[in-house]
Amino acid sequence: MSVPGAIGGVFLLLGCGFLLVGSLGLLRLHGFFARLHAASIVDTLGAGLFLVGLMCYGGFSLATVKLALILIFLLFTTPTAAHALAGAAHVMGIRPHGVTEESGNEKLNDSQGVESKHGSSNHPQKPEA
């Protein structure tokens, strides 16, 4: 076996291992946001390592250029899709695991300068005219 073939095999094994461990992690994690984070990391890194392994194993050819384009596409679209899904879930009212409705509202109110039910605010109040 040649050196590029051996390096490609190592990348393939790393990618497969990362995809396997990440998919098992998806089953164990609680909550939508934790699973979404794990899925996007697994997809980006696992598939990226797998594609790099295929590029090393195949040598330089037109197929390698196509695999590189697929890798670049994955690196841009997977985090963007995860961000869009997380934003849509937040708008729909899905809260991260461990965040209650009250604690989420207090943080939102404090960041907007509105007094929370405890009477504290991070922003100075404007004087009334």
Instruction: Label residue 120 by pLDDT band (50, 70, 90).
Output: very low
Q: Give residue-wise pLDDT tens across range 2-22.
A: 888 889 999 999 999 989 988
Supply angle C-alpha 77, 81, 86, rounded to 5.
155
Question: Mean pLDDT in the chain?
Answer: 80
Q: Is the pLDDT of residue 127 over 70?
A: no
For tokens 């984070």, the residue is 37
**pTM of the full predicted structure?**
0.67
Percent of the chain with pLDDT over 70: 75
Full DSSP string of the chain: --HHHHHHHHHHHHHHHHHHHHHHHHHH--SHHHHHHHHHHIIIIIHHHHHHHHHHHH-SSHHHHHHHHHHHHHHHHHHHHHHHHHHHHHHTTPPPTT--HHHHHHHHHHHTT---TTS--SSPPPPP-
Q: What is the pLDDT of residue 104?
A: 54
Averaged pLDDT, 68-74? 94
Averaged pLDDT, 64-80? 93
93 backbone φψ class: left, alpha, beta (φ>0; ψ -120 to 50): left
Q: Give residue-wise pLDDT tens across range 17-45.
A: 989 988 888 888 888 888 888 888 888 89
